[in-house]
Amino acid sequence: GFHYPWASYNHLYCGGFAAGNDSTYVVDRYYDDYDWQIESLAVMYEPGPFSDEYATAIYSDSGHPQPKGLITYQYSIAWSAPTAGDFVIMRFVMENKGNESLANMYTALFMDWDIGDYMSNQGSSEVARNLTWMYYTTPYVGVEILDPPRTTPARNLALIDHDLYVYPYGGLPDNIQIQFMDGTIVNPSSNRAYDWSTCNSAGPFNLAPSETKVAAFAILGGDNLTDLQANADTAYNRYWQV
């Protein structure tokens, strides 16, 4: 879940990190997929290095029908400072432990936000910050791509219409999910008050055997859009400073 402010309601139905290159190889644990399998349970450090809270976990693609030997090391970073307490940074280091190169890979964070009356949510995106957001009235919640940096355009910043892509399937099928990841389906803003999800994706990139690649995101809250954008800037600066 995701609470903003911290003592408020949970605004997140579910969310997850995904990596893949086509409809036959999308690795995630979103809705009813169980492709990522735990290799090392989360360990929490309070305080952590250069932060007030720091967590680590490791998982592999061994639950996928066609595993390739992809390992992901997850690092979660948060601060309690008044100027930096409105976001969590999620850093994913992917390592190819298989024998074959993984070509044209994309990474994404999918978030099914349910804010207040979730059937009346709306949202949009901003290219300059590689940012997506959703809201009901207040607060605003969203996701920002931190790595690759802002000088690299996102592959996709999308609002996902549940009436088209989720409800008919009881989830988000891989053959649709990859189309959001690779930018085939583009929808930068909601067109009505309804139930929506967001996708922030980056790529493509190649991952040779033993090679690593980093993807990082900030999960954000704000009292309004201006506050959310300010928190996105703080998260971005903090990430590249540490």
Q: How far apart are CA 118 and CA 214, in angstroms?
A: 32
What's the Cα-to-Cα distance from 187 to each of 49, 129, 132, 160, 237, rounded to whole Å? 38, 17, 11, 7, 28
Q: What is the pLDDT of residue 82?
A: 87
The pTM assigned to this predicted structure is 0.97
Q: Which residues does the chain have with pLDDT short of 70? A: none
What are the strands, taking DSSP E only, across 97-139?
A: 102-113, 122-126, 131-135
Q: How is residue 38 written in tokens? A: 């735990």
Q: What is the pLDDT of residue 206?
A: 98
| β-pair partners for 109 | 17, 200
